[in-house]
Amino acid sequence: MDIYVGNLPYDIEESFVRETFEGFGAVESVKIIMDHETGRSKGFAFVTMTNDEEARKAIEELNGADLDGRAVKVNEARPKSDNPRQGGGRGGFQRGGGNRGGGGGRDRRPNRY
């Protein structure tokens, strides 16, 4: 079973995550997600456990647990969507088009003084 682990400390190491989950059963893999631009952790990881029952126990016990001063969020990972921006992605923001006026708020009436 694939498990999502969020709100991790940014300096956490894969070995620490692995050891934490191995307390519940066999861990197949641990993948800490890194920011490609900064090389720093994004604060979440995916753990794959070989036994679903052990994975559910880990989720139940670790969700909300304090890990290095942070309450981690642990749940079953959802499948990756084919469209990462499905459902709007921009919160309904629309670009371009329309008459936006002009003049930066200036009063366009002739000066009568």
Domains plus CATH for the chain? 2-76 (3.30.70.330)
Confidence at 93, pLDDT banded by 50, 70, 90: very low
Contact between 30 and 18 under an 8 Å Cβ cutoff? The reply is yes
pTM for the model: 0.70
pLDDT above 70 for 16: yes
Round to whole Å and give the CA distance between 33 and 47: 11
**Chain-wide mean pLDDT for the chain?**
83
Q: Which residue has the tokens 């190491």?
A: 13
Round to whole Å and give the CA distance between 21 and 16: 9
CA-closest candidate to residue 58, choices 32, 67, 111, 13: 67
- In tens, the pLDDT along 46-73 reads 999 999 999 999 999 999 999 888 999 9
Query: What is the total residue count of the chain?
Result: 113
Show the tokens assigned to 106. 């200036």
